[in-house]
Amino acid sequence: MHRTLELEEVAQFLHLQRSEVERLVKDQEIPFERHGSRIVFRKVEIESWASPRILGLEGRRLSDYHQRSSVGVREIVTDAALLPEMIQPSFIVPALQAKTKASVLREMVRLGERTGRVWDPKALLAGLQEREEICSTGLPGGLALLHTRALEAYLFECRFIALGRTVQEVPFGAPDGRATDLFFLIACPDDRLHLHLLARLCLVAQKTDVLAELRAAKDAQEMHDRLLASEQAVLASLA
């Protein structure tokens, strides 16, 4: 049976105030159900609803959300920098040969397997495909933040990020119509950290030159170093 959440639980999951969730319900902008006098939310529907909203944030709205979600994850992670723990040079392929959306997903799952942190690669691929069918994770600027629709703990041994750079751009459904060549695979079974991590990566992409630097990097080590340096630059700008 799909897990249902109460209003307070949804507010905590989304890093929002209760009043903000109540407004979303009133305006019917969030999926919910009425069970008598109770309002409940199906967790899988909230997960599917939340990530596209975060991926679509820009400017001040993105910075504000990132700040709010930072508070909610302090009990999960103690270090402000998330990426050093989650990505290693061996988790990066600088010349991915995939030429279609379907082959990108397959190659990124194989890369995920190489990290040694994936329990169920078949389920991971199915989850990525299902998520892309709902809405593309391609973003303006030529990057995509691949993740599953439902965050199932059984998929991963522990959280990680993998990164693939394709040798040619791939049509991926980005809202700016641009093809994509930088693909991040986000594997984070903790709900609150997952949404914060999406916001962090979007912030890094928007506020630094990391995308150009990743394209210019000569190998996986340089891509890794550039990515971590960009996160540190964003954190410094927010301090």
Is residue 70 domain-resident?
no
Q: Quick one: 119 and 197 in the same domain? A: yes
Strands of the 38-42 sheet, one edge to the other? 4-5, 38-42, 33-35
With a CB cutoff of 8 Å and minimum separation 6, the contacts of 22 are: 7
Annotate 17-75 with DSSP letters as a single string: -HHHHHHHHHTT-S--EEETTEEEEEHHHHHHHHHHHHHT--HHHHHHHHHHHHHHTTT
pLDDT of residue 48: 79
Is residue 202 domain-resident?
yes
Distance CA 138, CA 178 (A): 9
Q: Quick one: 156 and 204 in the same domain? A: yes
Q: Quick one: 23 and 138 in the same domain? A: no
| Amino acid letter, residue 107 | E
Q: Quick one: 193 and 85 in the same domain? A: yes
Q: Quick one: 116 and 224 in the same domain? A: yes
Helix (H) or strand (E) holding 236: helix 220-238
Is residue 64 domain-resident?
no
Is residue 61 domain-resident?
no
State the CATH number of the domain containing residue 32: 1.10.1660.10
pLDDT in tens, 191-239: 778 889 999 999 999 999 999 999 999 999 999 999 999 999 999 998 7
pLDDT of residue 152: 65
Is residue 63 domain-resident?
no
Tokens of 220: 């996986």
User: Is the model's pLDDT at 39 over the cut of 70?
Assistant: yes
User: Is the model's pLDDT at 120 over the cut of 80?
Assistant: yes
With a CB cutoff of 8 Å and minimum separation 6, the contacts of 119 are: 154, 155, 156, 157
Question: Which has more pLDDT, 9 or 185?
Answer: 185
With a CB cutoff of 8 Å and minimum separation 6, the contacts of 25 are: 7, 32, 39
Distance CA 222, CA 165 (A): 13
State the CATH number of the domain containing residue 201: 3.40.930.10
Full domain range(s) for residue 30? 4-55
Distance CA 60, CA 201 (A): 15
Cα separations (Å) of 119 from 1, 109, 112, 157, 163? 22, 11, 10, 6, 19
pLDDT of residue 1: 41
Is residue 60 domain-resident?
no
Is residue 161 domain-resident?
yes
> What is the average pLDDT across 155-180?
92
Q: What is the pTM of this model?
A: 0.88
pLDDT of residue 16: 84
Q: Quick one: 96 and 208 in the same domain? A: yes
pLDDT of residue 160: 93
Q: Quick one: 132 and 223 in the same domain? A: yes
User: Is the model's pLDDT at 2 over the cut of 70?
Assistant: no
Is residue 62 domain-resident?
no
Tokens of 83: 């990426």
Q: Quick one: 46 and 140 in the same domain? A: no
Q: Quick one: 98 and 179 in the same domain? A: yes
Q: Quick one: 86 and 183 in the same domain? A: yes
Structural domains in the chain (count): 2
Q: Quick one: 81 and 51 in the same domain? A: no
| 201 touches 182 (CB < 8 A) | no
- Strands 4-5 and 180-187, sheet pairing: unpaired
Q: Quick one: 80 and 17 in the same domain? A: no
| 50 touches 14 (CB < 8 A) | yes
pLDDT of residue 188: 85
